Structure 1
């Protein structure tokens, strides 16, 4: 809401009108963010709306703070003084959101991921089918025929992990703070293609790009779920 209260106006009457208008909006939109900005001169909005917070803390005209910004959420913006606009005797006030998205607060990092080749599933299944699982139990069983379950589980788990390591490869990738675990380089290409199609203004091209992206996201989520299933299956288990 933009406000201008002339120097010769009656502050009490002006604030009453502001209070009525703002209260009506707050009743209609109780969860909304309200920004009241303008030249208030001698009027103080907090005298009628004490739960609004003033964001400007430096002079905007000579030694006086006349151009104010009130919000109903504390520390919403950071105010910065800038040069006068044209021949105005008021300086310019730049408002920057105080909140920084996670993407801007955290630098991209790198991590290693295990990549499953197309043939890894079948090869791993063949490996397990050809394995004599009894030898792991036998190795963990003493002369009294008592099986050490911890040793048994550790040996089976180590064997499974060794098979997985032999059939897969490790790859270092760059990740952003807000990046989903299922987001792949292929999806990044599809996303760029969608944005490029949007800029061209070609409706048919954009429709195709959006459909390709939607299919790519669905496939990436399925593959990610498949990988998680493999990880769960790699946990220790008993065989008979």
Structure 2
């Protein structure tokens, strides 16, 4: 857990920490937890603007992060500035009022349940129970047909690019027919030098997780198990 930022003014108080638990669904890169307090007598619009600037900046830098904003909002509604956030507490937390709210940027992320007061606090506790289903459990993997470029495919493709003259009709060049023939020829050459194979793609797989990246990760794990510190530094450098 790392402290990201803290802010305190007459409008709002909040602190932001970044977490990376041992287990985290692959679709999330990190977790940001924002604990805040907005006094009941302040201008909630101005207070929410301060909170919006802090959260939106982190969202721009970490678009795949999970954001949890919680604590005492009093009369403020975070959805007025962050409409894509979802509120999970649906019961009173102080007397008959629902003041302690939990917002996340993922719908159905948690199920909230009331718990007894802590110490002498006049607010009850809120327990969050995870209700999120990882993407890999929600959808089946897809079988895709991809083309791979074997060694020497680029030079072989260059050798076969010898286009014939454009089709003519008297003094007029039929550009549409010529374009069609060129595209068809390029497609044929591409099919001749590449190899098609089937791969399995999971719903939570990142686009940058290629075969080369898998090989680098496998190499890193191998040298880590062997205890070779120099080779491990080299493997980390290649990954970064």
TM-score normalized by structure 1?
0.50
Larger-Rg structure: 1
TM-score normalized by structure 2?
0.50
The structure in which a higher percent of residues are strand is 2
